[in-house]
């Protein structure tokens, strides 16, 4: 079961993924995997468990605690000379799913090994020169901003915070 995202979240915008009905199961699997992998890293295990419990009750599908609502939604805050801006958790997850799904879609597994998909009337574009890597890095920026907010801007509201870092995608 997906917590935050659904397939319909990828029907338009910068993270649009065109899928036919047979591919929807694959995309749903990516959504589930990204939420399961990245949310615990974002919050740390204890705070993640509290976020999920809050998300599922009393109104499933939205955070009810103010501290979770703040980081779930887009925000801009300033503290002395530091200004941080986040597009919110949903956009962060969409960036990760977009990157991972499209990155893995350029190859397929066959009986003779892994093959690159080739179109008759198209040219290949690698992930580094395409916007999918930019989307992933945008997700990392949002991830880091949310963590910075919980750790440095409002640590009193997130005493259970114990998130771990992730890195941007790079060719080096």
Kindly give the confidence (pLDDT) of every residue in the chain, 172 residues in length, as a single tens digit, with 9 standing for 90 and above.
689 999 999 998 888 888 877 777 899 999 999 999 999 999 999 999 999 999 998 877 889 999 999 999 999 999 888 899 999 999 999 999 999 998 888 665 556 655 555 555 555 544 444 578 899 999 999 999 999 999 999 999 999 999 999 999 876 6
- What was the pLDDT predicted at 12? 86
Of 103, 106, 113, 160, give the one whose Cα is nearest residue 133.
103
**Are residues 142 and 92 in contact, defined by beta-carbon separation less than 8 angstroms?**
yes
According to DSSP, the β-strands at 107-110 and 82-86 are unpaired
- What was the pLDDT predicted at 62? 86
- What was the pLDDT predicted at 169? 85
* Helices 24-43/89-105 angle, 10° precision: 130
- What was the pLDDT predicted at 128? 47
């Amino acid at each position: 079961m997906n917590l935050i995202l659904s397939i319909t979240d990828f029907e338009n915008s910068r993270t649009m993924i065109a899928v036919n009905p047979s591919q929807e199961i694959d995309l749903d699997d990516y959504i589930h995997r990204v939420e399961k992998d990245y949310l615990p890293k974002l919050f740390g295990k204890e705070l993640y468990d509290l976020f999920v419990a809050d998300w599922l009750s009393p109104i499933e599908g939205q955070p009810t605690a103010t501290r979770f609502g703040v980081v779930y939604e887009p925000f801009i805050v300033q503290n002395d000379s530091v200004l941080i801006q986040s597009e919110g958790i949903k956009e962060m997850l969409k960036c990760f799913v977009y990157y991972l799904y499209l990155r893995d879609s350029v190859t397929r597994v066959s009986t003779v090994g892994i093959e690159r998909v080739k179109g008759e009337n198209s040219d290949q574009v690698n992930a580094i020169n395409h916007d999918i890597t930019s989307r992933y890095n945008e997700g990392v920026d949002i991830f880091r901003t949310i963590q910075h907010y919980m750790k440095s801007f409002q640590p009193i509201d997130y005493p259970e915070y114990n998130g771990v870092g992730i890195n941007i995608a790079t060719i080096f």
